[in-house]
Every structure is written in structure tokens, then in C-alpha cells.
Amino acid sequence: MSESRGLHTKEFTLNVGPHHPSTHGVCRFVLKMEGEVITHVTPVIGYLHRALEKICENRTYEQIIPVTDRFEYCTAMSCNMAFSLATEKLAGIEVPERAEYLRVIMLELNRISSHLIWLGTTSLDLGALTPFLYAFREREYILDLFEMTCGQRLTFNYIRPAGVSRDIPPEFIPKCREFIDMFNDKIDDYERVLTENPIFIARNKNIGILPPDVAIAYAVSGPALRASGVKFDLRRDDPYSIYDRFDFDIPTRENGDCYDRYLIRIQEMRESTKIVRQAIEQIPEGEIRGKFNKMNFKPPAGEVYCRVENSRGELGIYLQAADKEKKPLRVKMRGGSFNQLQVMPVICVGHKIADLVAIMASMDIIMPDVDR
Amino acid sequence: MNRDELVSYIPDTFKDKVQLLDTGRAEPFFLIKAENLLEFSRAIKDDPKLHMDWLSCVSGVDTGEHFEVVYSVASVQTKIRFDYKVVLAYDGAEIESVQTVWPGANWHEREVWELYGINIRNHGNLTRFLLPDDWDQGHPLRKDWDAPDFVRMPEK
């Protein structure tokens, strides 16, 4: 630090972004710097604002599902899920058993693929190219599985109110089993490159420490919360769908630094494979979609806030319906990144500018989630 | 505390400050008066049986008749979850900031201010947020908002 050498530089303002590879989208930071040390951070957002909430107010419930895909495209399945869940609760719709299992399989595969994007881009930001190639190689398997199920690789439009859009093809289960059998060894490969890597440790350990009380005060959810030692996961603590039937662990760490957030996500990928394995063992035959009048669905007046745990934490949908209307009165989307970005000014101060990149990456912030 | 206990505990504790609504389809929804907002928010956080330390979301709503601001709160400790709202008339819609209770409310409230034009007292940072810096076309999430390139789906 400049103080330690007895040097004092004049405070200056530095602009980072909006088009910067490390901001994972279009996010801008206005930094106040003293030498290389950050003294103040102001995130500037809105570059990716597409008015999704306004668009939703102008569509029927079935038409909103593809809009939710665009809300958080790294885990589009969980956005579909949150909106479908909210619609089902609003009108008391039943979901067939097989559809619930298909949902869980897709949600967990999507969680892995999202964590793989995170792993790849994070290691790129920190100067390691190899894990990026590894991660995208395995992600390809998952995208193939999605493609054979719903024809899409990124914006799925798969989970719908009352069920899912189509059944899995017969090749799906063997391919999926092949993937999860192979995947744990692949995670070992990533760990071999990163976990003990002195450069990676130097860039991440004790950087961007998020104390648990700050995390809760700012409602920072997901892996970032659990890395700070708070054992809170909506799949366990506010269970939805059929998550209470599966046996899996909620990993937590104590330090809440960038390195712990890395370890949590690695561990979560292993836990997700456990859930997928149990789900494909137990999946029953049967219907994939319950009763839902997709052309003319008119729920009774009511409101609901519904939340699911996605790879970035709490993904919530607040839905208010006017009585017997085809279009909802209000759809509010709440993504995990929104609150994660909000806490950045608190945890970045005192770190060097290079650490901003590491902290931003470790919080796993993506901008469609923030800007909507 | 399950749902039944919650819907009797909150009215019992906060008496006439709070009213249970019948619109909640999953968790209970309560209605409170705008002048009690800050006091109620602090009370549910400090109450040892509720301990609502988690503000998930603040959503503005324009129902076509009035504004609503919905607070979705939860607790990491007690796992309780419910929502409460204030109803505001269009003219001079204004609420108190709850940042002193949950610092994370800052951005959510800023969004409500920008997209609905509901004033937030004691916020401290009501500046352009999601919309462009030179935006001058009003508050887009209001129901009466229209722009030349915004086309509503025809009613059938």
C-alpha cells in the first residue's frame, strides 16, 4: 500500500467497464483510487435493461415462460421453474410426479452447467486458460442433454406451469448416467489445476471477505452466503418441488473469501450430481403435464412471492394477478446477482484494483439478472 | 412457527397496526399503514420469535387504482417467510426508507422510485438506476405509461 512506503498519492477516479471482459456482461464501476488501492466503489448498472417486467404485464402466463429464459440465461431452467411455481401456487395447480422428477434433473444439470461457466470465466479472469477449456468441454455434454430434450441449449422454455413441455427421449437416461459417472473425475481435474495452485491461492485467499452478518443484512444468497458460514439453502430450508426426497449435503465454509466461494461451488457440483443420480434412479413413468389451459388461463385474484435456489442464490418471482385476467398485473423478478452486486462497495474497499476482478468473479454476478 | 400460528401471532402482537389480507396464495400477506412502515419493519426484525433478518425483495405495483409497495421478508434463523404491503394513493405517493433495518433495501427502493415515481424519504441515493441517464419519459412501470414504440397486446 502507498501508506507503508510513506507515499501519498492524490485520490483519483477510475472507470472500469461497461465493456470489460471481467465484468461478465455490461457492468460499470466508478472507482475512487489511492494509488492502486480502492477507496470507494460505485456500481453503475442498467446497460442490459430490457424491460422484462413491463413485457410480462403484456403477455399471457404461457407466453411469459420464454421471457423468463432471458432473465437469467445461465440458469434459464430455474427462471422457468420460479415462474411456473408461482403460477401453480396462484391457481392451486397440481404437477404430475414424473414432471417433478424431470424438473429436478434439469434444474440440477443446469446448476452444474452454470457453475461450469463460472469456473471457466473466473479462471480466465485470474489468468488460467486451461480450466476454461475443461469446463466448456464438460458443459457441452449437459447442453447436448438439454438439446435432445427440448431442442434448446440456452433458453429452454422447458418447465411450464403444471409440468414440463415434453418428455425426455429414451437415450437421455443412459447419456445422463454416463455424464454423472464421468463428471466427478473431471471435477478432480479442475481441482488439480486450481485448488493447490499457488497463484490461484494468492489471488483468492483472504480477498473480498464477506462477514456473515453483512451477507444477511444485504440478503446475499447462494454460494456466497454459504461460503461465509451461513448454512442456508432454499432447497433445504424452504423446500419446493420434491427436493425433500433427496439426500444431499449443503456445503459451508468459514472465511467467506474468494477462495471459499470457489470451494463451495466445486462442492456444490458434486452434490448436484448426487441429486441427479438419485432422480434418474427413482423417476416414475406417467404424465408430464397436468391440467393447464394455456390459451385461456385466468387465475383468481391473488398474489404470491415464490423463490427457488439457483446457482446464484435466491431467485424470486413476485406475481400479482387481477381477477379473471389473462395477463398478470405485476411480475417482479428478483435475481441473486442484484444483491450480490449491491454488497460489492462494502467488501471491495481496501483491496487493490486487480482484486476487484477476483471479487466480481467469485460473487458470480451476471448482468441480465441485475438489469432485467 | 407454521402458517396458522403466524397469521394469529402477527395480528396479536401488532394489534391494529396490521391487517391480514386474503390475497396471499402461498405465504400470508399483511397490510400496514404507510406511517407505520419503518416501525413495523424494525419490530418484526427485533422480535425474537420472528427475527425477520432477510429482505428478499421490494416490489412496486400499480394496480390501476393505486400504488402498492410489497415487502417480501424471510428469516435465516427461524425460516419464517411472509409478505406485507403498503397501499398508496397516486398523488404524493411517498414511503419511508427501510435501509436502517435492512441495508440491502437501498437498490430495491431506488428501483421503486425510478420505475414508479414513488418518493422514498431518507433514502440518500435517489439517482438514475436502470434507465438511461438522460431519461425524460416518466415512470415506465405505471399502467398509464405509453411510449411511441410500446405496443400493447390486443384484448380478446
DSSP strand pairing (B29-32 vs B18-21): antiparallel
Q: What is the mean pLDDT of residues A351-367?
A: 88
Cβ within 8 Å of residue A352, ≥6 positions away: A36, A37, A38
Q: What is the mean pLDDT of residues A20-34?
A: 82
Residue A11 lies in a domain: no
* Residue A59 to residue B24, Cβ atoms within 8 A: no
Q: What is the mean pLDDT of residues B47-64?
A: 90
Output the pLDDT for position A259.
92
CB A311 within 8 A of CB A115: yes
| Lookup: cell for A369 | 439478472
CB A116 within 8 A of CB A135: yes
SS3 A319: strand
Q: Give the pLDDT band (50/70/90) at residue A261.
A: very high
- Work out the minimum CA distance from A94 to partner chain B, whole angstroms: 14
What are the distances in angstroms from CA B152 to CA A62, A69, A92?
A: 17, 21, 29
Output the pLDDT for position A57.
87
**CA R_g for chain A:** 21
Residue A25 lies in a domain: no
Cis-peptide, bond into residue B154, ω within 30° of zero:
no
Q: Which residues in chain B have their CB less than 8 angstroms from residue A343's CB?
A: 104
Q: A86: part of which helix (H) or strand (E)?
A: helix A76-91
Q: What is the mean pLDDT of residues A223-238?
A: 90
- Pick the residue from chain B with its C-alpha nearest to A320: B61
Helix A97-125 × helix A258-282 angle, to 10°: 150
Q: What is the mean pLDDT of residues A328-348?
A: 91
Vertex A90, ends B109 and A366: CA angle to 5°?
A: 45
Share of chain A above pLDDT 90, in %: 47
Residue A139 lies in a domain: yes
Q: What is the mean pLDDT of residues B27-51?
A: 89
Residue for grid cell 439426500: A247
ipTM of the complex: 0.88
Could you report the per-residue pLDDT of B4-28, keeping only the tens digit for each?
Answer: 888 888 888 888 788 888 887 888 8
Could you report the per-residue pLDDT of A143-153, keeping only the tens digit for each?
Answer: 999 999 998 88
| Lookup: cell for A177 | 448416467
Domains of chain B: 3-121 (3.30.460.80)
Give the domain range for residue A354: 49-371
**A342 in contact with chain B, both atoms CB, cutoff 8 A:** yes
- Reported as half-sphere exposure (CB side, CA atoms, 13 A), residue A365 has a value of 28
Averaged confidence pLDDT in chain A? 89
Q: What is the mean pLDDT of residues B45-65?
A: 90
Q: Give the pLDDT band (50/70/90) at residue A1.
A: very low
Residue A38 lies in a domain: no
* Residue A89 to residue B153, Cβ atoms within 8 A: no
Q: In total, how many domains does chain A have?
A: 1
Residue A9 lies in a domain: no
Residue A18 lies in a domain: no
Q: Give the pLDDT band (50/70/90) at residue A96.
A: very high
Output the pLDDT for position A6.
65
| Lookup: cell for A199 | 497463484
- Residue A176: what are its φ and ψ, rounded to 5°? -65, -40
Cβ within 8 Å of residue A113, ≥6 positions away: A74, A75, A139, A142, A143
Share of chain A above pLDDT 70, in %: 97
* Residue A53 to residue B70, Cβ atoms within 8 A: no
CB A205 within 8 A of CB A257: yes
pLDDT at A43 over 50: yes
Mutate to test the interface with B, among A225, A252, A303 (most CBs of B within 10 A): A303
**A327 in contact with chain B, both atoms CB, cutoff 8 A:** yes
* DSSP assignment letter at A4: G
Beta bridge partners of A33: A12, A38
Q: What is the mean pLDDT of residues A62-89?
A: 91
Q: What is the mean pLDDT of residues A224-231?
A: 91
Q: What is the mean pLDDT of residues A1-10?
A: 62
Q: What is the CATH number of the domain that holds A291?
A: 1.10.645.10
Could you report the per-residue pLDDT of A164-198, keeping only the tens digit for each?
Answer: 999 999 999 999 999 999 998 999 989 988 888 88
How far is it between the farthest Cα atoms of chain B? 52
Q: Which residues in chain A have their CB less than 8 angstroms from residue B64's CB?
A: 322, 329
Q: Which residues in chain B have their CB less than 8 angstroms from residue A220's CB?
A: 104
**Alpha-carbon distance A23 to A2, whole Å?**
26
**Alpha-carbon distance A289 to A291, whole Å?**
7
Could you report the per-residue pLDDT of B97-147, keeping only the tens digit for each?
Answer: 999 999 989 999 999 999 998 999 888 888 888 888 888 888 888 888 877
* Residue A305 to residue B27, Cβ atoms within 8 A: yes
Vertex B91, ends B86 and B95: CA angle to 5°?
A: 35
Vertex A89, ends A151 and B16: CA angle to 5°?
A: 150
Output the pLDDT for position B16.
79
Chain centroid to CA A286:
30
Q: Which residues in chain A have their CB less than 8 angstroms from residue B23's CB?
A: 301-303, 320
**A199 in contact with chain B, both atoms CB, cutoff 8 A:** no
* Residue B83 to residue A327, Cβ atoms within 8 A: no
Averaged confidence pLDDT in chain B? 87
Residue A230 lies in a domain: yes
**Alpha-carbon distance A197 to A205, whole Å?**
11
Residue A29 lies in a domain: no
Output the pLDDT for position A46.
87
pLDDT at A13 over 60: yes
CB A320 within 8 A of CB A177: no
Mutate to test the interface with B, among A305, A318, A334 (most CBs of B within 10 A): A305
What are the distances in angstroms from CA A290 to CA A112, A287, A369, B70, B95?
A: 28, 7, 30, 31, 42
Give the A:B interface size as CB pairs under 8 Å: 103
Cβ within 8 Å of residue A244, ≥6 positions away: none
Global pTM reads: 0.90
Task: Give the nearest partner residue to B23 out of A238, A303, A372, using CB atoms.
Answer: A303
Torsion of Cα atoms, A114 then A117 then A119 then A120, to 10°: 170
DSSP strand pairing (B81-88 vs B29-32): parallel
